[in-house]
């Protein structure tokens, strides 16, 4: 018997090994093995079992890591599809996808059970005691010796003696490390009565689930329209039909209430939770509980899409527009796009939901590839919040000389009124830290990171200047590193400084801040959101984190301090992101009995992304944005692949980037254009230097995904320069 093993190395090749006789029974696709490779012992994954090998005298595998496979043939087909689509080696992809790590393996426990017998010989009192504590074979697969020890003390020798007499059978079974439970939750019966919009949407989804064929839906429901309830009902239906489901959310730590809602609905022990906040060992066990069919629902961030859910019938992608579904590093996959692929391979229903669908998804809906379900009204016909736009250019002119005038009089007055009504306010500022950046007044240079071509941001908490792209930071230095001038001035504003300003202006208010600086501790989000729900916070200041999926009835004011920060990014999706962010954060307001109010501060008051967000007009935004995209041949009207080339030495990198672009043009036949496929660049990346490496970008663009990917594949096969790394990003989302 032979196996083909994929190792986490940059090659498409898989390697043949012989299986020694004692391991033959345990061999299966989806198990990891330890095997000699390149003079070392390496862990790889079995991707095929065969009667013959393609090489002569293959080496032998040494050990099989798992008692049961981590995935089956259906998942393998899906993983292969992903690896091929993203031009990523299968072995490396498997390494990214599979849970566990070096020292994590499955655990087993010893069990004991009583054998049926009529004649019981004379026993010591202790032997009798233990024997009576054991369950009978046939009724149970035994009690674990660990559990017995808790009640009766160390019973190992007694059990062994009983086994010798033929009265007891000792067995072994797999154990699973439990999820840490925050509280005991049992299934709760009462569910809300669906409204007409929810009913209509659910009916179509249920029809698809019962048919059991692949179909993709877009549930376009405004914020607070009750989309989550529709997802939960669809999952109930799936379970009743004996199917499994995957429920993806952008960042599970930002939605602790969702987990509680799921646990209430399905019971805490019936859900596998897969995200980075759960330890690797527990995730590994959760994964295997799914594979064994003992659990049928997986909830988690993007990587939960890979989970080996049996008989997968439903994949829900909540907030499908969210950019965090795209992994930026290593295997740069998009979980929403791949959810559709997996749905097709498995014959499952895919349910994408959002108040602000990704342009691409809505485009697919207009083309009939995705079935559109619309819920245009909030629960209980609550109104959407009234949105005002404040022109900060006017405001600045009026208040010339007033330092730190980042809050308009309009917003200040609205905050004051909200506090007076004993209601709550959210203030969004998409920049962390204290001052956005610091500039030397004498030489004009900003304080920059040593490794990255970006400004350092001041953090008052620990009085350090920090790089937001690497872990470089310096302590409270106050002179220019360049000309030694002490005259340093602050430009812009971050969440930390905004918090201070709010505290100074509203000293009686209870102010808290939510950004990745305050939220790095486990459970910090949950604690803060709980405090907001308990109305122990009057004003919450934060980055886009505060825009995500929360539902707090007493929040009536939402202020967007600087809508321009996302608009000015060098990214063709800047307007789309801004529209989504503004709509989402606006949607946090007025979800209870009091109407909501939104104030957006900007230097671009006429911009269509802001105007359409003000009018809650998704379709208007979609029309305007698609017209621009079509004109520029950007997605959804073209396919993109971004190549990012990096090198620690500038001159070498620049030369290599030029050579790579030249090779691409040559492959297209010299003119740099063939059959609608084009090459742009190289250009210096917006982050021209990152973690000590200089960076360039080349953009491949084309009508068809196949042609563009073919070009990228050929480039990667031909191009190799020592010291130069090229990252291939199919359907890129981040352009920094
Ligand atoms: P969305 O995900 O669309 O923003 P949610 O699903 O969070 O909206 O629903 C908003 C609120 O309305 C939640 O508190 C939810 O429990 C409640 N809700 C949902 N459906 C109903 C219903 N049919 N009747 C009453 N309340 C509902
Ligand atoms: Zn840096
Ligand atoms: Zn200086």
Distance between CA atoms of 698 and 513, rounded to whole angstroms?
39
- 7, β-bridge pairs: none
Alpha carbon 67 to its chain's center: 29
Q: Are 318 and 250 in contact (CB under 8 A)?
A: yes
Say which CATH architecture domain 2-97 belongs to.
Answer: 3-Layer(aba) Sandwich (3.40)
How does the average pLDDT of the chain come out, rounded?
A: 87
Q: Over the stretch 617-631, which tens digit does the pLDDT of each residue have?
A: 999 999 999 999 998
Under 8 Å between Cβ of 532 and 424: yes
Residue 322 near residue 87, CB atoms below 8 Å? no
3-state secondary structure of 331: coil
Q: Is pLDDT at 239 greater than 60 in this prediction?
A: yes
Q: Which fold has domain 639-730?
A: Alpha-Beta Plaits (3.30.70)
Q: DSSP secondary structure string, 665-713?
A: HHHTTSSSEETTEEEEEEEEEEEEEETTEEEEEEEEEESSHHHHHHHHH
Q: Say how many Å lie between the CA of residue 490 and the centre of ligand 2.
A: 19
Residue 602 has pLDDT above 90, yes or no: no
Half-sphere exposure of 511 (CA within 13 A, CB side): 19
Are the beta carbons of 419 and 629 closer than 8 angstroms?
A: no
The per-residue pLDDT for 243 is 96
CA of 303 to the centre of ligand 2 (A): 27
The answer to whether 708 and 702 have CB atoms below 8 angstroms apart is yes
Q: Which ligand is nearest to the CA of 378?
A: 1
Q: How far apart are CA 260 and CA 182, in angstroms?
A: 9
CA-based nearest residue to 588, from 700, 710, 698, 423: 423
How far is residue 708's CA from residue 706's CA, in Å, rounded to a whole number?
6
- Asked if pLDDT for residue 294 goes beyond 70, the answer is yes
More confident residue, 139 or 281: 281
Confidence of residue 515 (pLDDT cuts 50, 70, 90): confident
Mean pLDDT highest for which of 508-522, 582-596, 694-708? 694-708
Region 196-378: CATH code: 3.40.50.300
pLDDT per position as a tens digit, 142-171: 888 888 888 888 888 888 888 888 888 888
Pocket residue to mutate for ligand 1, from 220, 228, 596, most atoms within 8 A of Cβ: 228
Å from CA of 360 to ligand 1 middle = 26
What secondary structure letter does DSSP report for 364? H
Beta carbons of 358 and 590 less than 8 angstroms apart: no
Confidence of residue 580 (pLDDT cuts 50, 70, 90): very high
Contact 203, 230 (CB under 8 A): no
Proportion of the chain above pLDDT 70, given as a percent: 92
Could you say which DSSP state residue 478 is in?
A: -
Q: Are 12 and 87 in contact (CB under 8 A)?
A: no
* H and E: helices and strands count for the chain: 21, 31
The pocket around ligand 1, CB under 6 angstroms, is made up of 192-195, 198, 221, 223-229, 379, 551
> Rounded to the nearest whole angstrom, what is the distance from the C-alpha of residue 691 to the centroid of ligand 3?
23
Confidence of residue 465 (pLDDT cuts 50, 70, 90): confident
Q: Say whether pLDDT at 524 is over 90.
A: no
Taking only the tens place, the pLDDT of each residue in 470-489 is: 778 877 656 777 788 887 76
Neighbours of ion ligand 2 (CB under 5 A): 449, 451-452, 467, 469-470, 472
Which pLDDT belongs to residue 401?
Answer: 46
Q: Considering all CA atoms of the chain, what is the largest pairwise distance in Å, rounded to the nearest integer? A: 100
Q: By C-alpha distance, which of 3, 62, 58 is closest to 30?
A: 3
Say what the pLDDT of residue 336 is: 98
- 674-678 mean pLDDT: 83
Nearest one of 192, 586, 191 to 379, comparing CA atoms: 192
pLDDT tens per residue across span 99-127: 876 767 777 788 888 888 777 778 888 88
For 221, the 3-state DSSP assignment is strand
Rounded mean pLDDT, 484-506: 81
Q: What does the pLDDT average to over 355-378?
A: 96
CB-based contacts of 514, cutoff 8 Å, min separation 6 = 525, 528, 540, 541, 542, 543, 545, 546
How would residue 185 be classed by pLDDT, with cut points 50, 70 and 90?
low
Nearest protein Cα to ligand 1, atom 17:
226
Residue 87 contacts residue 709 (beta carbons within 8 Å) = yes
Distance 451 CA to ligand 2 centre (A): 5
* 219 bridge partner residues: 353, 373
Phi, psi of 156 (to 5 degrees): -60, -45
Contact 700, 716 (CB under 8 A): no
Please report the pLDDT score of residue 144 as a whole number.
Answer: 84
pLDDT (mean) for 22-30? 94
Res 615: pLDDT: 94
- Residue 559 scores a pLDDT above 90: yes
Instruction: Transcribe 11-42 into DSSP letters.
Output: -S--EEEE--GGGGGG--TT-EEEEEETTEEE
386-434+493-629 adopts what CATH topology? Rossmann fold (3.40.50)
Helices (H), 405-465: 409-420
pTM of the model: 0.88
Give me the sheet containing 32-37, strands edge to edge.
15-18, 2-6, 40-50, 32-37, 63-64
pLDDT value, residue 454 = 67
Residue-by-residue DSSP string for 613-665: HHTT-HHHHHHHHHHHHHHHT-TTSSEEEEEEEEESSHHHHHHHHHHHHHHHH
pLDDT value at 210 more than 50: yes
Task: Express each pLDDT in 394-424 by its tens digit.
Answer: 776 555 545 456 788 999 999 999 999 999 9
CA–CA–CA angle 97, 103, 107 (5° rounding): 95
Distance 492 CA to ligand 2 centre (A): 19
Distance CA 622, CA 226 (A): 23
pLDDT digits (tens, 9 = 90+) for 295-320: 999 999 999 999 999 999 999 999 99
pLDDT tens-digit map of 68-103: 899 999 999 999 999 999 999 999 999 999 987 676
Pocket test for ligand 1, best of 188, 199, 226 (most atoms within 8 A of CB): 226
Q: What percent of the chain lies above the pLDDT cut of 90?
A: 52
Which residue from 196, 254, 379, 555 has its CB within 8 A of the most atoms of ligand 1, so it is best to mutate?
A: 379
Confidence class for position 549, pLDDT limits 50, 70, 90: low
Three-class SS of 532-569:
HHCCCCCEEEECHHHHCCCCCCCEEEEEECCCHHHHCC
Residues contacting 209, CB < 8 A, separation 6+: 234, 237, 238, 241, 243, 313, 314, 349
Other C-beta atoms lying within 10 Å of the C-beta of residue 409: 12
């Amino acid at each position: 018997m032979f196996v083909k093993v994929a190792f986490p190395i940059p090659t498409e090749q898989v390697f043949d090994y012989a299986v020694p006789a004692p391991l033959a029974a345990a061999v299966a696709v989806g198990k990891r093995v330890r095997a000699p490779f390149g003079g070392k012992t390496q862990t790889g994954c079995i991707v095929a079992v065969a009667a013959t090998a393609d090489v002569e005298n293959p080496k032998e595998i040494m050990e099989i890591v798992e008692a049961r496979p981590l995935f089956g043939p259906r998942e393998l087909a899906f993983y292969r599809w992903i690896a091929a689509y993203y031009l990523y080696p299968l072995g490396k992809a498997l390494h990214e996808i599979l849970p566990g790590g070096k020292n994590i393996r499955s655990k087993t426990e010893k069990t004991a059970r009583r054998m049926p017998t009529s004649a019981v010989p004379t026993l010591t009192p202790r032997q009798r005691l233990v024997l009576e504590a054991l369950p009978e074979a046939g009724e149970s697969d035994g009690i674990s010796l660990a559990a017995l020890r808790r009640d009766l003390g160390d019973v190992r020798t007694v059990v062994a003696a009983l086994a010798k007499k033929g009265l007891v059978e000792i067995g072994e079974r797999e154990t699973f490390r439990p999820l840490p439970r925050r509280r005991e939750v049992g299934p709760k019966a009462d569910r809300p009565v669906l409204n007409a919009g929810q009913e209509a949407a659910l009916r179509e989804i249920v029809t698809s689930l019962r048919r059991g064929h692949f179909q993709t839906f877009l549930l376009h429901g405004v914020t607070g329209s009750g989309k989550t309830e529709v997802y939960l009902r669809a999952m109930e239906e799936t379970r009743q039909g004996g199917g499994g489901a995957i429920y993806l959310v952008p960042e599970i730590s930002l939605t602790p209430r969702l987990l509680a809602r799921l646990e209430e609905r399905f019971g805490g022990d019936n859900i596998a939770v897969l995200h980075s906040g759960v330890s690797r060992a527990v995730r590994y066990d959760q994964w295997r509980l799914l594979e064994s069919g003992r659990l049928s629902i997986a909830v988690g961030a993007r990587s939960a899409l890979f989970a080996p859910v049996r008989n997968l019938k439903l994949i829900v992608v909540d907030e499908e527009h969210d950019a965090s579904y795209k992994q930026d590093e290593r295997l740069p996959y998009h979980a929403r796009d791949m959810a559709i692929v997996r749905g097709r391979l498995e014959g499952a229903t895919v349910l994408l939901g959002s108040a602000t669908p990704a342009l691409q998804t809505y485009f697919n809906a207009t083309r009939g590839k995705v079935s559109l379900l619309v819920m245009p009204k909030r629960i209980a016909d609550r109104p959407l919040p009234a949105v005002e736009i404040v022109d900060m250019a006017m405001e600045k002119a009026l208040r010339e000389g007033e330092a730190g005038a980042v809050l308009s009089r309009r917003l200040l007055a609205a905050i004051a009124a909200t506090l007076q009504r004993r209601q709550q306010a959210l203030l969004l500022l998409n920049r962390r830290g204290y001052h956005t950046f610091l500039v030397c007044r004498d030489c004009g240079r900003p304080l920059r990171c040593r490794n990255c071509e970006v400004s350092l941001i001041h953090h008052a908490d620990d009085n350090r200047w920090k790089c937001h792209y690497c872990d470089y930071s310096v302590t409270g230095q106050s002179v220019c590193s360049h000309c030694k001038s002490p005259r340093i001035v602050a430009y812009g504003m971050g969440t930390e400084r905004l918090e201070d300003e709010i505290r100074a202006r509203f000293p009686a208010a209870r102010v808290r801040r939510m950004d990745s600086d305050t939220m790095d501790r486990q459970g910090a989000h949950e604690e803060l959101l709980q405090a907001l729900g308990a109305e122990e916070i009057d004003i919450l200041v934060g980055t886009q984190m505060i825009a995500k999926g929360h539902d707090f009835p007493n929040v009536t004011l939402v202020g967007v301090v600087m809508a321009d920060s996302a608009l000015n990014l060098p990214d063709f999706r800047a307007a789309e992101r801004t529209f989504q962010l503004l709509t989402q954060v606006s949607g946090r307001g007025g979800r209870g009995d009091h109407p909501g109010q939104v104030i957006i501060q900007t230097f671009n008051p006429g911009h269509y992304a802001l105007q359409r967000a003000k009018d809650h007009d998704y379709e208007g935004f979609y029309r305007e944005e698609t017209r621009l995209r079509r004109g520029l041949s950007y997605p959804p009207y073209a396919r993109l692949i971004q190549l990012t080339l990096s090198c620690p030495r500038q001159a070498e990198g620049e030369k290599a980037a030029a050579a790579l672009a030249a090779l691409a043009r040559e492959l297209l036949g010299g003119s740099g254009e063939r059959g609608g496929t084009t090459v742009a660049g190289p250009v210096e990346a917006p982050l021209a230097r990152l973690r000590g490496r200089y960076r360039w970008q080349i953009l491949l663009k084309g009508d068809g995904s196949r042609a563009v990917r073919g070009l990228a594949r050929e480039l990667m096969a031909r191009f190799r320069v020592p010291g130069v790394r090229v990252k291939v990003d199919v359907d890129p989302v981040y352009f920094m």
